Each structure stands twice: as C-alpha cells, then as structure tokens.
Structure 1
Amino acid sequence: MALEPDELAAASGNLGQTLRELRRTAGLSGERLARRCAMSQSKISKIETGRLTPALVDLDRILNALEVTSEQAGLVLARARLANTEWQGKRELWRKGLETRQDELRSLESSASEARYFLPTMVTGLLATPAYIRASLTHSPGDVSGTVAKKIARQEVLRDGSCSFTFLLTEQAARWAILPAEGMAEQARRLVEVSRLESVRLGVLPLGTVLPRGPMNTFTVYDDRLATVEIFTGRLAFRDLRDVATYRELFAMYEEHALFDDDAREQIQGWWGT
C-alpha cells in the first residue's frame, strides 16, 4: 500500500468512522459496546472520533464484541495499520525546528529500555563527534548551533544506564567521509570509545559480509513499541506491532552477522588507521 501523507493523516479518523458504523449496524450503543469490551465509554468515544488510535489488543476486543465478519475485520485491521503509521516530512521537521526534533528523540531514548539502531549509510548523532554532527547538518537551513548542542547533550543517555543500546554500522557508515581524514580518524576513535560503555553494544558489518537482505534504510527500534525509518524526504514511524516485529527480526538478522567487541574495534581502527 502506498503511504500518502494525506492518507496517513486521515487514517485514524477513518478507522474510528468505520468502527462507529459497525457498532451502529450491530445495534449497539457506545455504552453497551464499552461494557462488552470492558472499556470505558469515553475510550470508545475517543476511538470512534479519531482522538485515540486503538492498540491492536483493544481493536481485537472491539471486533470480537461486534461479531464482525472476517472480511470486515480485515478491512479494519488494514486501516489500523495505516493509522499506526506516521509520516514526518523533512520540510515539516524544518518548520517545527531541528531543536524540537532533538527533544522528541531525547524523550524516546529516555523512555526506552532497549534501543536498536541500524546504520547503513552514516554515523548517528549519539555516536558522533561535534565536528561530524555539524558537518552532517550542512544541508539544513538556518543556524544549527543549538541543534548541535542538543545532539551532544543527548549522548549522555549512553552513560546513565537507563537504556541499553545496540548499534550496527555497515562499513560504508563507518567510512563515509563527511570530514577530512583527520576528522574521520577522530570519529573512528569516538566509535571505539563508545563501544566500551557498559550500556552499549556496537557492531560493524564489513563489505563482503554475506547477507540475505540488502541494507535499504536507516532504522531504529525502541523496545517492541516503535520503529522509525529514515529516507531522504522524511521519516516514517510505525507503531503497529507487526511492523515493529518485522524491523526487530531484520535487526536480529544483521546482528547475527556483525563483528562486536575487540573484533569491531580492530576493524574500525584498521579502516582509519587509528
């Protein structure tokens, strides 16, 4: 299914409308449906008006209470999947401000117990030196000094022990030179340093590693509740548990083939002669 931004914005409301129509067809009031589902009537109302996107477990309870057909259930679940997908365009992020985005990321990182980062193209901000961060923002409009500062401040989460982090970098990500050789050598030393932190596992995938799936996109998985995928024009966020599970499985596959610990550090140092 093509994910058009307008469709994503309307999906939650469309899902609610569909559920409301199914309830009325079943001859149930919102109050009676709420009792059947062991939910509050206000929660049913919020779902039907699009103010609340239901979790899949709640949706299953509602569909069972409405005794819908398998065809109807399939339609509702397809809309639920769309409603649990969020599109953030690059221009929208710029309008909101890059610093605002850093606050959002810091909140995600501080609320997660496990975070997994698959990095096929470049080093992520949590692992980057100040010079690398600034160089990575040269395409961004306006003064990026505040954003650089917030990216550096976010790195403290790697040391506070509240979350465990696993980073997987392809050889391209580790070697893609957005700085002169001296700056990239410093960045390599930063990767080695971070790899020794107690809450961090850092793995690398050298070119020539035999893998069954190509590295299509940068993606991050927070626990089992959210996966974000980055493309040139923006970012997709998936909250449907099936989508999140798919990205966890992909990550596990790449992780199985990666080098870690001293092997990873030796590989990084060899790439940049550090």
Structure 2
Amino acid sequence: MTFDPETLGQSRSDLAGVLKNERKRAGWTQVRLAKRCNMSQTRVSNIESGKLTPAIVDVELILEALGAEGTVATEILALARAANTEWQDHWGSQRRGLDKKQNELARLEAVTTEFRFFLPTMITGLLATPDYVRDSLSRNSGDMSKTVAKKLERQQILMDSSKFFTFLLTEQAVRWPLASPLAMAMQLDRLASVSRLPNVRLGVIPLGLIGPVAETPLSVFTVYDRRLVQVETHTGALILRDHRDVSAYREDFERYESHAVFGEDCRSLLGDWSMIFTRQRQ
C-alpha cells in the first residue's frame, strides 16, 4: 500500500471508530470480544476510545472474532498499518526546535532496555564528541547550543548498567571526514573508549571483508527493544511499531552484525584509522 506522510500516525481515532462500529454491528459487548480475543475488557475499551493504538495482530484477532472479511477487513487493516506508522519530517522538527526532538528521544530511551543502532553513514549522537556533534549540526540554521547540550546530556544513559547497547558502524560511517582531522582522531578514540563499557557492544563492518556480503545497507535505523524501529532518512524519520516491521529490522541487524568485528579487533581498526587522521593534520 502507499502511505501519505500527512496521515501517518494520525489514524488512531479513525481506527478506533471503525473497530467500535464493527463490534456493535456484530451485536457483541466489549466483554465478549475481550474474552474471544484473550484480551482484557480495559484493553478493548482503550482501543475503541483511541487511547491505545492496537498492534496489527490485535486488529487481526478482533476482525477474525467479529467475522469481518473482504473489503471491510482490508480497509481496517490499512488503517491499523497507518496508525502504527509515523513520519517525523526534518522541517517540522526544526520549527519545533531540534532540542525538543532530543527530549523525545530521551523519554524513549528511558523506557527502553535493549538498543540496536545500525549506522552505515555517520556516528550517532550517543557516541559523538562535542566537536563531532557541532559539525554534524552545522547545516542547520539558528542557535544549535541547546541541541548540542541535549545530545551530550543524553550520553549519560550509556552509564546505566540496566540498559544494553549494540552499535554497528560501517567503516564509511567511522571514517567519513565530517569534522577536522584532529576532531576525527578524537572521535575515533572516543569510540574505542565507549567500546570498553560492560553494557556496550560496539562493532565495525570493515570494507576489506573476506567474502561477499549479500545485504545492502539502505538507511540508518535504531531498534528499541521489540517496541519500535526508527528509520532515518535525509528529510526525516519513519517510526514503525508493527511487530512484523520490528522483527524484520531485528533480523537485518543480526545479519549485519555477523559481518562486524568487535573487541580488541575493533579497537585495533579504530586506532589505525585514528592515526591516519592524526597524520593528516601534521
């Protein structure tokens, strides 16, 4: 199906209304539907009131229980898909203030236990030095001091031993000269330092791999537990909550992970590349 970015994430109320109408059409109570779908009555009520966005599998269970088929079922599932997908455009984030986006990420990180970052193009803010953060924001207009401060503040979450992080970076992401040679050398040293944290697994996929790699990286993405995936593009971010999307990205991550080097081998590569930047400034 084709999505209109303006409607993504805004279909919860429409979905709630059609599900409620289908239940009433079937002559069922919320209690009866909840029992049939192995849900609580409260969950059904929250779905029908729009307080809760149901997963696609929940909608499928409800439709099956109510006997909804054909065009009706197809249209309702399309609504469910749209309600579980959100588009955050870059210009909208700029208008609101990029520091507000950092607050949203901090709230999401607070409720997440396992993080998977796939970084084929550049280094993420959680791993970045202050110079790298400032240079990564240089194309944005206006005062970026609050956004820089928020990005650096978020890095404290790496010290939370109850959370676990896996960062996969391609060699291109690590070596792309976003900042000056000295700043890049310091950035690579920072990566090596973070890789020693006990709750952090940091790997690099080198270009000089032995053997072919069937997968082709398309975009930066982050998987938050099994809750959602954020896929970043040049003009915004796509938020996917459908469990099938989350599972697909987790599987992609595992395939990329099999090509990465970790531990001392990774730090050795980072050290070599850092020395290259160091020599460039001499």
Q: TM-score, normalised by structure 2?
A: 0.88
Aligned twin of 2:251: 249
1:214 matched residue in structure 2: 216
The SS at the match of 2:121 is coil
Question: Equivalent residue of 2:76, what SS?
Answer: helix
**Equivalence for 1:186:** 186
In 2: Cα distance, 1:5 partner to 1:71 partner: 23
- Counterpart for residue 145 of structure 1: 145
8 A Cα contact 2:9 2:84, kept in partner: no
Q: Kindly provide the CA deviation profile for residues 51-82 of structure 1, in whole angstroms up to 9, marking residues without a partner as x.
A: 43113453244223312237654443333222
- State the shift of 1:271 in Å: 1.7
Is the deviation greater in 158-167 or in 8-17?
A: 8-17
TM-score normalized with structure 1 length: 0.91
1:108, CA displacement in angstroms?
Answer: 1.7
- Within 5 Å, which residues of 2 pair with 1:1-274? 1-28=1-28, 33-34=33-34, 36-37=36-37, 38-40=39-41, 43-69=43-69, 72-209=72-209, 210-273=212-275
Does structure 2 conserve the Cα–Cα contact (< 8 Å) formed by 1:110 and 1:163? no
Q: CA deviation digits over 1:8-54, x for unaligned, max 9?
A: 144323323332342243233556545655533x6545434544311
Q: Does the CA contact (< 8 Å) of 2:189 and 2:274 recur in 1? A: no
- Output the CA distance in 2 between the equivalents of 1:240 and 1:185: 40
Residues in 1 aligned to 2:228 and 2:208: alpha-carbon distance in whole angstroms: 31
Q: Gaps (5+ residues) in structure 1?
A: none
8 A contact 1:229–1:235 mirrored in 2: yes
- Aligned-residue Cα RMSD (Å) equals 2.1
Cα deviation for residue 83 of structure 1 reads 1.1
Secondary structure of 2:184's aligned partner: helix
